Amino acid sequence: MWRSTGRLADGREIIYYDESPGTDRADTPDRRPLAPFSPTAELRHDPLLDEWVALAAHRQNRTHLPPTDQCPLDPSTGERHTEIPAADYDVVVFENRFPSLAPGEPPAGPADPALTRRPGAGRCDVVCFTADHGASFAGLTPRRARTVIEALADRTAALAALPGVAHVYPFENRGEEIGVTLHHPHGQIYGYPFVPPRIARMLGSARAHRARTGTDLFDDVVAAERAARVRVVAESDHWIAYVPAAARWPYGVRLFPLRRVPWLPGLDDDQRADLAGVLLGLLRAFDALFDTPAPYIAAWHQAPVDTAGAPDPAFAAHLELFTLRRAPGKLKYLAGSESGMAAWINDIAPEDAARRLRAAYRPATAGAPGADGRDGA
């Protein structure tokens, strides 16, 4: 993989990750007449839940489901200039033009005794997986999937090193049912200035488990699922995917490396290569469940980082992959119990979900052509 870095017309950073040597697309100028990039966001504290909520009013103006020929994530052409100035790319990452988190200072307001707030400093990146607008992650070759993995690991370390960032969250939303506003295959990376509630909860559970048992919670959960076998969807030399025994979503898996690491940069070459094939196999299995492509969220859970950008070794990085679809033409909605009480109800037994996913799973292997038009060698 070859990396080159440039700037867009408004000052935002753009990073190209290329699969061929000597490719320096970052030299391509952005010819759009954009004003300097200066969004602001703020964080407000919810004292009852002890959680931070981000406010980013400028996102109301973000691009929403544009026509195919107006997609801002396609490569630029002589007639149309997009977020990516180059005429082609393999994988590219750039700062979001409409970020949920931004370093600017929010405007001051009148004194409010019920309000605790702070700047919404952080970073939001967009990750484009391929220049092919009609592709999907599931259709990539293992080689291209590996390049995406390398980009996510590289950007995780870079964002963790930024002042004030406490946690880095790479994810992909796919499908209008999820709320996607651009169909081009892409993901995002958030650099939060706080530890998100779910990560804090898992880390607290892990620490309590170690204090109680002297063992690692993540290792013990994976070992228990491997011993039970009934919910394991796939296992390779370096990874295991299983449906959790107390699954919340109708179809969802957790994907763990067999050698625990706190974050993506900690994966070695063998783990990264193996991950590409396993992840593609899982995404294709999700698409095979029903008569239409699965709307899903692929969420990387990583360790919080300290002020020096180092990850907490008590955490175990893993992927949570789930779809909202529970049956043909039917979605899992977050209704009164889930949305109102955060108390989940699942309509499908995890063992049945694992059986269906296991039957559909085929690991991707190098050599087969994919959506990026290249083989996976």
285-304, pLDDT tens digit by residue?
A: 999 999 899 999 999 999 99
Domain check: are 180 and 205 in the same one?
A: no
Going by pLDDT thresholds of 50, 70 and 90, the confidence category of residue 370 is: low
Distance between CA atoms of residues 324 and 92, nearest Å:
28
**CATH number assigned to the domain comprising residue 273:** 3.30.428.10
Nearest to 50 by CA among 202, 207, 197: 197
Per-residue model confidence (pLDDT) at position 367 = 58
Domain check: are 190 and 212 in the same one?
A: no
What residues make up the domain containing 47? 2-195
Structural domain contains residue 371: no
Domain's final residue, options 137, 167, 195: 195
Domain check: are 179 and 327 in the same one?
A: no
Domain check: are 270 and 139 in the same one?
A: no
Per-residue model confidence (pLDDT) at position 110 = 85
pTM beyond 0.85: the answer is yes
Domain check: are 42 and 137 in the same one?
A: yes
**Residue 373 scores a pLDDT above 90:** no
Per-residue model confidence (pLDDT) at position 375 = 44
Domain check: are 103 and 183 in the same one?
A: yes
**Least confident among 15-24, 56-65, 133-142, 258-267:** 56-65
For the packed helices 142-160 and 269-288, what is the interaxial angle rounded to 10 degrees? 120
Domain check: are 52 and 151 in the same one?
A: yes
Q: Using an 8 Å Cβ cutoff, are 100 and 59 in contact? A: yes
Nearest to 295 by CA among 176, 186, 135, 181: 176
**Least confident among 55-64, 126-135, 313-322, 328-337:** 55-64
Q: Using an 8 Å Cβ cutoff, are 124 and 190 in contact? A: yes
Per-residue model confidence (pLDDT) at position 344 = 96
Mean pLDDT value across residues 115-127: 95
Going by pLDDT thresholds of 50, 70 and 90, the confidence category of residue 369 is: low
Per-residue model confidence (pLDDT) at position 302 = 98
Structural domain contains residue 342: yes
Question: Number of folded domains in the chain?
Answer: 2
Structural domain contains residue 295: yes
Domain check: are 236 and 165 in the same one?
A: no
Q: Compute the mean pLDDT over every residue in the chain, rounded to the nearest whole number.
A: 94
Domain check: are 158 and 256 in the same one?
A: no
pLDDT tens-digit map of 229-273 = 999 999 999 999 999 999 999 999 999 999 999 999 999 999 999
Structural domain contains residue 307: yes
Per-residue model confidence (pLDDT) at position 262 = 98
Domain's final residue, options 168, 195, 222: 195
Q: Using an 8 Å Cβ cutoff, are 325 and 291 in contact? A: no
Structural domain contains residue 370: no
Going by pLDDT thresholds of 50, 70 and 90, the confidence category of residue 368 is: low
Structural domain contains residue 15: yes
Domain check: are 119 and 206 in the same one?
A: no
Q: Which residues are known catalytic residues?
A: 186
Structural domain contains residue 133: yes
Residue 241 CB neighbour total at 10 angstroms: 27
Per-residue model confidence (pLDDT) at position 59 = 85
Residues 6+ apart with CB under 8 A from 219: 260, 316
